[in-house]
Structure 1
Amino acid sequence: MKVFVIDLSVCNGCYCCQIACKDEHVGNDWMPYARPQPDTGQFWIGLAEKVRGHVPQVRVSYVPNLCHHCDDAPCMEECKAEAIYKRDDGMVIIDPEKCIGCKLCADTCPHNAIFFNDQLNLAQKCTGCSHLRDSDPEEWTEPRCVDQCPTEAIRFGEESDFADFIAEAEPYRTEAGTKSRVYYKGLPKKFIAGTLYEPNDKEVIIGASCTLTDEESGEVFTETTNNFGDFWLENLKDNRSFTLTLEKDGYSRTITGLTTDIDRGLGDIPMDMKG
């Protein structure tokens, strides 16, 4: 069965996937797979761009989101018209001829990947470009979004061929529990970052030891400030409380009660002499 695998470490936010999907589906009737996508208001694959942290410690994350073609798809269970079905290749399709426009599937989808076309009175979403792959399987082995991705951040194929990738990946929304067929590596996790400096000389402190301790579990994260005096402690769990200890030669500082409800850029941190 088919899967999408997405490596966010090489996604550069070019929007080619989103544009390619629009190009393929806007104004094109691909019955019985899908009716035309509206010009505006729907992105069957949409790129979410999020600015994280505080100036000057800022990261920008890009996460493509599409139908997750779930093995336990709540949209299928809720559809009273039995218009939603899973193909043998794992792709979930909304049959445009059977859809009665009740909107239950869109309301149920935990991935916000089903849209409603008011003009046509039907639900619509990613089809995995099944119309292309069925019509010319030798030419089209993957959807348009995958074909147009310049960095190969999005790939598509047999689940067995991506076994190594999947072993290191995770669903976008694990809590949904829908057995998603879209796997991500590099999903943004919380970070705590800052810049250390000596307040008298106004010079950054290079090579300082930065130790972050989870106040609940005792788990420890370590980092060393770079040539700009910066440290980045990343891949932290959400909504945890940490103690940060900073040390270099005769300088030290401890900061308690740092929480990861958000990504935290601590800005410039003056270091005190041990005393």
Structure 2
Amino acid sequence: MKAFYIDLSVCNGCYCCQIACKDEHVANDWTPYAKPQPDTGQFWIGLTELVRGQVPKVKVTYIPKMCQHCDDAPCIEQCKFDAITKREDGLVLINPDKCTGCKLCKDTCPHDAIFFNEGLNIAQKCTGCTHLLDNDDEWTVPRCVDQCPTDALRFGEEDDFKDFIKDAEFLNPEAGTKSRVYYKNLPKKFVAGTIYDPVEKEVIIGAACTLKDNESGESFTATTDNFGDFWFRKLADDRTFTLTIDKDGKQKVIEEIVTDKDLSLGDIPMTL
């Protein structure tokens, strides 16, 4: 079974995937796989830029989003005209010749991955470039994957990507649709800050920072770097933490740190 594998840690936001998809499908009729994609208004693979934190502690994550080619695809169940099918290789297709434009699939998709072409009165989405995979021996991956310069996007048999899958997640797991698009390094909450000595007016290097989850009791540790900065990454959502900072026998405690969003605690004064 085929699947997509996306590692966000190496996606640099170049938009090559999005551009390649447009290049392949705009003004090109690949019936029965797909009718032409409109010039504007549709991105069968689209890059979402997620900016997190507050200045100066900010992180940017680029997230490619597409049809999830679900094993339990609600769009297939909702289609009354057998226009949507799941292939033996795992990819889900909308047959443009059978689509009646009822929009049930678009309204049902929990991933917002189906678009409606008003001009052609049909639903459209990512096809996995099956017109290439089926008819050209030189093509073993979709255009978006072929054009990715960092290998953030990959495509192939699940058996060949077992090591990737064991550490991967679904983008929208609460949908329960058994996605065939696996993501690694999806953004998690972070807490960061800078420790400084207000008397010396210098950052404090080498301070031991401990962040404790008040609910689970789990603790995370970090040490301030040459800029006095500390970072705690991959934290659970909506948890309350207590931060303890130790340096040269002095201690500072900050309570009620809530990860309802990514947090920059700013400059934290600590007199040694």
TM-score (norm 2): 0.98
Q: TM-score, normalised by structure 1?
A: 0.97
CA contact (8 A) 1:252 1:272 kept: no
Letter in 1 for 2:133: R
Shift of 1:107: 1.3
Q: Contact (CA 8 Å) 1:6, 1:154: kept in 2 or not?
A: yes
- Write the deviation string for residues 247-273 of structure 1: whole angstroms up to 9, x where unpaired: 111432111111111100111111145
Other-structure match for 1:84: 84
After the TM superposition, which parts of structure 1 deviate over 4 Å for at least 4 consecutive aligned residues? none
Q: CA deviation at 1:19?
A: 0.3
| Aligned pairs for 1:102-181 within 5 A | 102-136=102-136, 138-181=137-180
Paired residue secondary structure (2:245): strand
Q: Partners in 2 of 1:104 and 1:252 — Cα distance?
A: 60
Q: Which residue of 2 aligns with 1:204?
A: 203
Q: What is the percent sequence identity of the aligned residues?
A: 71
* Contact 2:83–2:98 (CA under 8 A) maintained in structure 1: yes
| Alpha-carbon shift at residue 228 of structure 1 (Å) | 0.6
The CA distance in 2 between the partners of 1:215 and 1:107, in whole Å, is: 41
**2:69 paired residue number:** 69
The equivalent of 1:54 in structure 2 is 54
> C-alpha distance in 2, partners of 1:103/1:241?
43
Residue 253 of structure 2 aligns with an amino acid whose one-letter code is: T
| Partner residue in 2 for 1:12 | 12
| 1:195 partner amino acid | T
Corresponding position of 2:268: 269
For structure 2, the 5+ residue unaligned runs are none
Q: Offset at 1:51?
A: 0.9
The DSSP-based 3-state class of the residue aligned with 1:132 is helix
Counterpart of 2:22?
Answer: 22
- Partner Cα distance (2:25, 2:147) in 1: 14
The alignment yields a C-alpha RMSD, in angstroms, of 0.9
**Deviation sequence 1:187-236 (CA, Å, 0-9, x none):** 00000000110011110111111111111111111111111111110001
Corresponding residue of 1:258:
257
- What letter corresponds to residue 242 of structure 1 in structure 2? F
Instruction: Determine if contact 2:11/2:62 at 8 Å carries over to the other structure.
Output: yes
SS of the counterpart of 1:63? strand
Q: For the residues of structure 2 that align with 1:220 and 1:135, how far apart are their CA atoms?
A: 54
SS at structure 2 position matched to 1:254: strand
Contact 1:29/1:35 (8 A) holds in 2: yes
Shift of 1:53: 0.1
Cα distance in 2 between the residues matched to 1:197 and 1:227: 11
- Quote the residue 1:243 is aligned against: 242
**Structure 1 stretches lacking a partner, 5+ long:** none
- Distance in 2 between the 1:251 and 1:102 partners? 67
Matched residue, 1:227: 226
Q: Following the alignment from structure 2 to structure 1, what is the Cα–Cα distance between the partners of residues 82 and 255?
A: 55
User: In structure 2, what is the equivalent of residue 32 of structure 1?
Assistant: 32
> For the residues of structure 2 that align with 1:151 and 1:193, how far apart are their CA atoms?
28
- How many angstroms apart in 2 are the aligned matches of 1:100 and 1:253? 65
How far the C-alpha of 1:110 sits from its partner, in A, is 1.3
- Distance in 2 (CA, whole Å) between partners of 1:131 and 1:95 is 12
Looking at structure 2, the residues matched to 234 and 77 of structure 1 have their Cα atoms a distance apart, in angstroms, of 40
**SS of residue in 1 equivalent to 2:38:** coil
CA distance in 2, matches of 1:49, 1:42: 17
